[in-house]
Structure 1
Amino acid sequence: MRRDAPLTAEAQLLAPLWQPKPTTVRSQPQKQDKVDKYNEVKHLEYDNDISSLALGFVPFPFTSGGGITYNTMDAPEARRFSTSTAERVGLLKSHDNAAKQRQYGAIPDPSDIESLLGGEGTTEELGTTAGQEAKLLLKYSVPLMGTYLLQYSFSLVTIFVVGHIGTDELGAVSLATMTANITGLAIYEGLATSLDTLCAQAYGSGKKTMVGLHLQRMILFMLAVTIPIGAIWLCSGWILAALVPEKAIAHLAGYYLSLLLAGAPGYAIFEAGKRFTQAQGLFNASLFVLLIATPINIALNYVFVFVLDWDLTGAALATVLSNNLLPLLLWIYVYFVNPSSLECWGGFTKAAFTNWGPMAKLAVPGIVMVETEWLAFDILTFSTSYLSTAHLAAQSIVMTLAVAIYHVPFSVGVAVSTRLGNLIGAGSLSAARTATKTYILTFLAIGLIDFTFLTACRNTLPKAFTSDPEVVSIVATVLPLLAAFQFADSTTALVNALLRGLEEFESLRTGLEGEKGRSKT
């Protein structure tokens, strides 16, 4: 089980996170030659790691009437500033970010930024209180939690349903999910990371139909990769039987994977399709899809498993149909809800069958990053299989709870890093200090709530997933340890959020100072 599932509506949710009233500050007269030199700049390097998936937004000043006006993100000229995920750090280091930056709006004049960074101009200090910061976090974190939980809900529903079938089935699904993650799903997501660069650069440079061409190439490439992945999944019963002591569980997991293979193309196409919409700034597309697909997935699981009594076969078929529904819903969104995005689709072309090499090379770092992250968690499931079937089933429940609960501090952390970066970017250091104190108390409270919840419900939570007394006993024994881990993990989420907020502005400041130095030569 993995901790971050790609979530894509956070940009839509956080765009209005900070919208200060327009404030005008003094600026020195601009020399045209300095403006011309700056306009020739093609590249401002930054490389932000936001620990999974989130996009940061930083408002920048723009000149207006001889002064600097701080525009909110609703303003058309406001510049949107995207950050990379942990899986894409290596990927983006080797690529030009200029096009991606141009995608999100105009580049401000360096002398304007000089005022922001403490040059000859001055900025107006923004005021805030602990209560205001708490309200902001509550307002924007709750929708994010819902989005991330929706993205994780397919796995959550499967574990919940299969747990009520039997212990062997729950252990088999846990083993099958681990195998699917490592040998298939992580590869798809790693491949899709190359589109974060390719599609963004194509869209930002004005070559909009190239966005659709990159999508076609990636879909065809993913379908080709599905052939060896499918061979592994079809043979997984024998492979797992040679690796784990529980032979019956291994063959049951192989059977589940053989059924799951039918949903692999849908999963792959959806991962590629998400990048097609994200490159155009349509960050609410995935949320639209998930809001429809999640209840359908729940209904399919209920009907197939409990009404038709198809047991493990029903759970697998529900997942297959849900995965194949995702790209269909995304197409409906693009074609009917936001047809303007079709300007990036130039139609099917034979060129999609050529020039796969650069795309594949670009995807390798993404695959490595995603694989190592997923493997770090899934290796626990593999190790547990050497204990007993009951322990394997218990591990599945514990990891499901751990990932689900972590979405709370992680979602708040996304809002924190964006808000803190905005305050520091505006030069409001006093407000940033006040906000940071509020964030510390907030995350301590989250950690205590998680700890108390898991400890108090250690005997009742397992029963929601399984009726096997042995599995319930094992989970109840482990949950206090998970509670302590979640408290520490919430603290880690806080530190990561604060560092991201600081890095968000620092990386921009460093790049701009370098550009200003070159403009003087």
Structure 2
Amino acid sequence: MGTVPMDQQPLLHNVGEEKGRPWRSKGGGMTVAAVEAVEKEDSPPVRGLRDAWELFGAESKRLWCIGAPIAFNIICLYGFSSSTQIFVGHIGNLELSAVAVALNVISTFSFGFLLGMGSALETLCGQAFGAGQVEMLGVYMQRSWIILVAAAILMCPLYLFAAPLLKLIGQQDEIAELAGKFAVSIIPQMFALAINFPAQKFLQAQSKVVALAWIGFLVLLLHVALLALFVFVLGWGLWGAAAAYDISAWLVSLAQVAYIVGWCKDGWTGLSWTAFRDLWAFVRLSFASAVMLCLEIWYMMILTVLTGHLDDAEIAVGSIAICMNINGWEGMIFIGLNAAISVRVSNELGSGRARATKYAVAVVLVQSFAIGLLFMTTILVTRDYFSVIFTNDKNMQRAVAEIAYLLGITMVLNSIQPVISGVAVGGGWQALVAYINLGCYYIFGLPLGFLMGYLLHWGVQGIWLGMLCGTLVQTLILLFIIWKTDWKSEAAQAAERVLLWGGQEEDLKGHA
């Protein structure tokens, strides 16, 4: 995927229609010849099984060329958290539960918000790249850095007062105190994410993703070595795990920035004061993206919180933490596909290719569902064994085996849901999806889980099952929206979004 040819670029800046009124550039309206040019550049229609198979193969290649390195990079990044829990789990159950709460509740809260804020860059950079405006990508990234660092500063009290907050929502005092201390020690990692996510989205929009995979892999190897050194060799225990976590996060962020400055001369032209202009338009899209993603990420985080109120909370929290850890490994693959389909959708819409966008969405949904079924089967076959990776405690292993079937169902649903969110980000539907997530997750799924877990006394399984019902409803609604989407209309609005969300609203008014 490259920049749009010069002979098509004037066309892309003229595409758009809002409320029945043609949107025109300063140079005039879009001609019939221009419309025909877009149609010629779009994917040909599928007229039979052979066409469908050829399309499936070609689109799969494009998708995985982007998605595989991104997925591998994100798996490596998730490996920081997962390997940290593995090392701490062999110290003791209390330490495992405390770190699980700190990472799955406190850190996930900030992770979700910062990733959501950074996801605005996926929409804007992807559509700008598709429209040939590569020189603006560096400015957009710098705006995102400013916004995310400010957001990280505002979230510091969440870490500093983690212990009382965890007690307030019902965590046992012993777990909450230790989790609060660990949370304070990983504050530097949060600021590393504020640099990481915009740099990551900058590279993803241009499909420069192989470097991301290498950076993630090399730093993961170093992270495991640091954990072994700090936790066991030097005997620093929990605080050694926190130090390794912080160091590794900053190494990834700095390596990505170094690659951008050294090897991305087309999109990076140096620091610019322009990044401080028109921040409010960027903040609005960033906040909508953050709300959409946070409502998804925090939803499963709440599962860990609610189990802390049950009897034998140490076993309940530990078993859920192990399942969520395994689910997270699978989820990283689909977050990779989420990013890949976001790039594909935003690039194609920015290029005005409506049919190609529709085909890309169909192919990724079919493949994601098949992968989800494969993971569910694997979990059900190994339900009595996979927990030994995390714990030697027999009671904990039995507790995990009892809820493994719910983990399998979750894996199938999570194979579709993140991919649909990627389509939403690529198309710029963040605000709509945020409302859907709020209704399905927090008005329907969460109360149902509370009812089944506490009032019906189904425990961990009841809480989890009720919340899965919310995920199912959300997935079905978004699938229906995608099915009814007019992709030609979406492509027509993409160029206007680039101006509006890029902070060029005055230009947009001048075009009217």
TM-score band by shorter chain is 0.5 to 0.7
Give CA deviations for 1:103-136 in whole Å, capped at 9, x if unaligned.
Answer: xxxx994225556899xx9998783697996899
**Match for residue 297 of structure 2 among 374, 381, 385:** 374
Give CA deviations for 1:354-398 in whole Å, capped at 9, x if unaligned.
Answer: 654333233221121122111211110110111211211111101
Q: Which residue of 2 aligns with 1:42?
A: 14
Contact 1:416–1:501 (8 Å) recurs in 2: no
Q: Which residue of 1 aligns with 2:286?
A: 363
Query: In the superposition, relative to structure 1, how do residues 278 and 458 fare at CA in structure 2: closer, same or farther (>3 Å)?
Result: closer
How far residue 321 of structure 1 moved from its aligned partner, in angstroms, is 0.4
Indicate whether 1:482 and 2:454 are aligned.
Answer: no
How far residue 453 of structure 1 moved from its aligned partner, in angstroms, is 2.3
**Match for residue 291 of structure 1 among 188, 193, 217:** 217
Q: Secondary structure at the match of 1:250?
A: helix
Query: In the superposition, relative to structure 1, how do residues 405 and 264 fare at CA in structure 2: closer, same or farther (>3 Å)?
Result: closer
Distance 1:268 1:426 in 2: 33
Aligned-partner residue type, residue 220 of structure 1: I
How far residue 212 of structure 1 moved from its aligned partner, in angstroms, is 3.8
Q: Secondary structure at the match of 1:344?
A: coil
Query: In the superposition, relative to structure 1, how do residues 219 and 504 fare at CA in structure 2: closer, same or farther (>3 Å)?
Result: same
Distance 1:40 1:409 in 2: 31
Q: Which residue of 1 aligns with 2:188?
A: 262
Give CA deviations for 1:30-64 in whole Å, capped at 9, x if unaligned.
Answer: xxxxx99x948623479xxxxxxxxxxxxxxxxxx
Distance 2:96 2:377 in 1: 27
Q: Which residue of 2 aligns with 1:391?
A: 316
Query: In the superposition, relative to structure 1, how do residues 149 and 205 fare at CA in structure 2: closer, same or farther (>3 Å)?
Result: closer
Distance 1:206 1:112 in 2: 16
Indicate whether 1:175 and 2:98 are aligned.
Answer: no
Distance 1:511 1:412 in 2: 21
Stretch of structure 1 that moved more, 279-288 or 107-116 = 107-116
Contact 1:126–1:428 (8 Å) recurs in 2: no
Q: Secondary structure at the match of 1:340?
A: coil
Distance 2:56 2:75 in 1: 24
Give CA deviations for 1:414-454 in whole Å, capped at 9, x if unaligned.
Answer: 999979x9x9948999xx9xx98x996x7786555434422
Aligned-partner residue type, residue 398 of structure 1: C
Contact 1:117–1:427 (8 Å) recurs in 2: no
Query: In the superposition, relative to structure 1, how do residues 390 and 344 fare at CA in structure 2: closer, same or farther (>3 Å)?
Result: same
Distance 1:45 1:123 in 2: 27
TM-score with structure 1 setting the length = 0.64
Query: In the superposition, relative to structure 1, how do residues 406 and 192 fare at CA in structure 2: closer, same or farther (>3 Å)?
Result: closer
Contact 2:163–2:180 (8 Å) recurs in 1: yes
Q: Which residue of 2 aligns with 1:227?
A: 153
Q: Which residue of 2 aligns with 1:457?
A: 382
1:76-475 pair list within 5 angstroms: 109-112=34-37, 127=50, 140=64, 146-181=72-107, 183-196=109-122, 211-336=137-262, 338-341=263-266, 344-347=268-271, 349=273, 355-387=278-310, 388-406=313-331, 425=355, 446=371, 449-475=374-400
Which stretches in structure 1 are left out of the alignment for 5+ residues? 1-10, 16-34, 47-95, 99-106, 516-521
Distance 2:330 2:152 in 1: 32
Contact 2:107–2:183 (8 Å) recurs in 1: no
Distance 1:204 1:444 in 2: 28
Q: How many residues align?
A: 413
Aligned-partner residue type, residue 403 of structure 2: V
Which stretches in structure 2 are left out of the alignment for 5+ residues? 26-31, 424-475, 495-512
Aligned-partner residue type, residue 319 of structure 1: Y
TM-score with structure 2 setting the length = 0.65
Q: Secondary structure at the match of 1:274?
A: helix
Distance 2:269 2:418 in 1: 39
Tell me which protein shows more helix as a share of its residues: 2
Stretch of structure 1 that moved more, 127-136 or 229-238 = 127-136
How far residue 483 of structure 1 moved from its aligned partner, in angstroms, is 2.6
Distance 2:332 2:338 in 1: 10
Contact 2:125–2:205 (8 Å) recurs in 1: yes
How far residue 465 of structure 1 moved from its aligned partner, in angstroms, is 0.5
Give CA deviations for 1:476-510 in whole Å, capped at 9, x if unaligned.
Answer: 21113323443565577899999989959974445
Contact 1:171–1:393 (8 Å) recurs in 2: yes
- Aligned-residue Cα RMSD (Å) equals 5.0
Give CA deviations for 1:273-307 in whole Å, capped at 9, x if unaligned.
Answer: 22333455534442232132221222222222222
Distance 1:332 1:240 in 2: 38
Aligned identity (percent) is 24
Distance 2:260 2:13 in 1: 34
Query: In the superposition, relative to structure 1, how do residues 163 and 128 fare at CA in structure 2: closer, same or farther (>3 Å)?
Result: farther
Query: In the superposition, relative to structure 1, how do residues 115 and 227 fare at CA in structure 2: closer, same or farther (>3 Å)?
Result: closer
